Amino acid sequence: MEIKVFKEIMDENLKLAEDNKKLFKDRKITAINVMASPGAGKTSTIMKLITMLSEKANFGVIEGDIASTIDAEKFEKIGIPVVQINTGGGCHLDANMIKGVMDDFDVKDDSIIFIENVGNLVCPSSFDLGENVKLVIASVPEGHDKPYKYTSMFEAADFVVLNKVDLAPFIDFDRDAFYKGIKALNPDAKVFEVSCKTGEGFTALVDYILEVHNQSKK
Amino acid sequence: MEIKVFKEIMDENLKLAEDNKKLFKDRKITAINVMASPGAGKTSTIMKLITMLSEKANFGVIEGDIASTIDAEKFEKIGIPVVQINTGGGCHLDANMIKGVMDDFDVKDDSIIFIENVGNLVCPSSFDLGENVKLVIASVPEGHDKPYKYTSMFEAADFVVLNKVDLAPFIDFDRDAFYKGIKALNPDAKVFEVSCKTGEGFTALVDYILEVHNQSKK
């Protein structure tokens, strides 16, 4: 009984994700589903990318949170089209929520939209949103064992960002173990090491985001 | 329909949590439900507490993870009774899982059991396990805004540990904002600032854990 209900929800989600995918394609929008633990640096990474790419692309941000508009306000302040989804307790975004906000979202065609999912390394990986790519952000202080514990998240990732590398000297983070875990689950996923604080590593990430946008418009 | 199914699950969970609560009381066990983001330091905090209290109390650990036995092995290595629950994708422990492992769990009466929940600041807060107290661990690198974004978790906490304070000099962490957020949601929750790495702050936390154990046996 429970399983049946769950399957219905997943089927319905996939159908709506297909609708979103079509909408994004028609409008030459690249949607990036950004997933991470609470506090890994989703908002900071998106903010840094938008700032660095502001003259090369248009942007929009869809903010997913249980509660609050703290992060959405940051993007509004710098003039980026942003819409907030408060899940009211829900642990992930779903395709229907994205569909619901796209109608009134004043984002330009040919934009890159960052969809900042609820901070959670579990549930968001199961729900396609119709995004072009899934980005998982890990951070050095969380520890190198995350790929081993949150396997479906790292399997789902199209690419991975390892943030807060500036803190590496103060933390016992085993880089080899981290990479080994990702390679075992997801051999093709690129990994970018960055620090939102110092800015290191962002040049390569910025180039990659532009490449993804150009590829997805083809 | 969905709501009805969800309500049935929650009612059933509460009933099983009551069974667990009775079992813990009969056996003079204090169960501490430890919840946090991935990588906040749940295992390290539990390990530190058990090491410091090893001559003053008996312990057991129930490890909840999506996958892997990485953390359970750490406790087994130092001779602590430990049992692993792999949720196989599930984002939280529930009362039935705890009930299921207690029968064969070789933990002594009059023990403190740490139940390490799945790393997640959302779902675990909704599921009582029959625990005596709920501990939420936050960490400095996650940022001071977590109480504002994951409100139900910080509302549910009986006490809060702020871990990784040794990293504070390298991070923009606004202590006042963090405490203000917790006070607004949960005025009575005690907060303990600690570092698993340097050991600072643990003396007060150890005393508090012993006090909780003594109170719960009354």
Q: Is the pLDDT of residue A53 over 70?
A: yes
Nearest to B130 by CA among B207, B12, B23: B23
pLDDT at A89 (0 to 100): 87
Residues B98 and B74: their CA atoms lie apart, in Å, by 20
Q: Is the pLDDT of residue A27 over 80?
A: yes
Minimal Cβ distance to A38: which of B5, B142, B152: B142
Q: Is the pLDDT of residue A8 over 90?
A: no
For every residue of A9-45, DSSP letters joined together read: HHHHHHHHHHHHHHHHHHTT-EEEEEEE-TTSSHHHH
Amino acid at residue number B114: F
| Cβ atoms B43, B127 nearer than 8 A | no
Q: Which residue has the higher pLDDT, A112 or A6?
A: A112
Which chain A residue lies closest to B5 (C-alpha atoms)? A2
Read off the pLDDT of residues A79-113 as tens digits, 9 standing for 90 and up: 999 999 999 889 999 999 999 999 889 999 999 99
Collect all residues from A whose CB is shorter than 8 A from any CB in B. 1-2, 5, 9, 37-40, 65-68, 70, 89, 91, 118-123, 126, 139, 141-143, 145-146, 148-152, 164, 166-167, 170-171
Residue A161's CB: how many other CB atoms inside 10 A?
27
Listed in sequence order, the DSSP H helices in chain B are 2-26, 42-52, 70-77, 95-102, 146-149, 151-156, 175-185, 202-217
Q: Would you place residue B13 in the very low, low, confident or very high pLDDT band (cuts 50, 70, 90)?
A: very high
Minimal Cβ distance to A68: which of B40, B66, B149: B149
Provide the phi-psi class of B139: left if phi over 0, else alpha when psi is between -120 and 50, else beta. Answer: beta
Read off the pLDDT of residues B27-80 as tens digits, 9 standing for 90 and up: 999 999 999 999 999 999 999 999 999 999 999 999 999 989 999 999 999 999
Mapped onto helix, strand or coil, the DSSP state of residue B29 is coil
Chain A to chain B Cβ contacts (< 8 Å): 117
Residue B56's CB: how many other CB atoms inside 10 A?
11
Q: What is the largest CA-CA distance in chain B?
A: 52
Q: Is the pLDDT of residue A3 over 90?
A: no
The ipTM (two decimal places) reads 0.90
For residue A167, the chain B residues in CB contact (below 8 A) are 141, 167, 170-171
For the record, the structure tokens of A142 come out as 């969380």
Name beta bridge partners: A137.
A36, A161
Euclidean distance between the first and the last CA atom of chain B, given in angstroms as a whole number: 43
Share of chain B above pLDDT 70, in %: 97
Residues B94 and B64: their CA atoms lie apart, in Å, by 10
Share of chain A above pLDDT 70, in %: 97
Nearest to B73 by CA among A148, A77, A52: A148
Q: Is the pLDDT of residue B217 over 90?
A: no
| Cβ atoms B140, A58 nearer than 8 A | no
Q: Is the dihedral of CA A150, B122, A84, A20 positive or negative?
A: positive
Q: Would you place residue A213 in the very low, low, confident or very high pLDDT band (cuts 50, 70, 90)?
A: very high
Amino acid at residue number B154: F
What mean pLDDT comes out for the span B186-207?
97
The CA distance from A15 to the nearest CA of chain B, in Å, is 19
Q: Is the pLDDT of residue A4 over 80?
A: no
For residue B74, the chain A residues in CB contact (below 8 A) are none
Quote the DSSP letter at residue B123: G
| Cβ atoms B92, B120 nearer than 8 A | yes
* Average pLDDT over all residues of chain B: 95
> Residue B139: is it exposed, middle or buried by C-beta count within 10 angstroms (0-12/13-18/19+)?
buried
Residues A84 and A81: their CA atoms lie apart, in Å, by 10
pLDDT at A1 (0 to 100): 41
Q: Is the pLDDT of residue A6 over 90?
A: no
Residues contacting residue A8 through CB under 8 Å, at least 6 positions apart: none
For residue B66, the chain A residues in CB contact (below 8 A) are 122, 149-152
Q: Is the pLDDT of residue B1 over 70?
A: no
For residue B141, the chain A residues in CB contact (below 8 A) are 39, 139, 141-142, 164, 167
| Cβ atoms A182, A176 nearer than 8 A | no
Read off the pLDDT of residues B83-114 as tens digits, 9 standing for 90 and up: 999 998 899 999 999 999 998 899 999 999 99
Q: Is the pLDDT of residue B158 over 80?
A: yes
Q: Is the pLDDT of residue B7 over 90?
A: no
Residue A176's CB: how many other CB atoms inside 10 A?
8
Which chain A residue lies closest to B153 (C-alpha atoms)? A89
What mean pLDDT comes out for the span A35-59?
97
For the record, the structure tokens of B72 come out as 């359970």
Q: Is the pLDDT of residue B4 over 70?
A: no
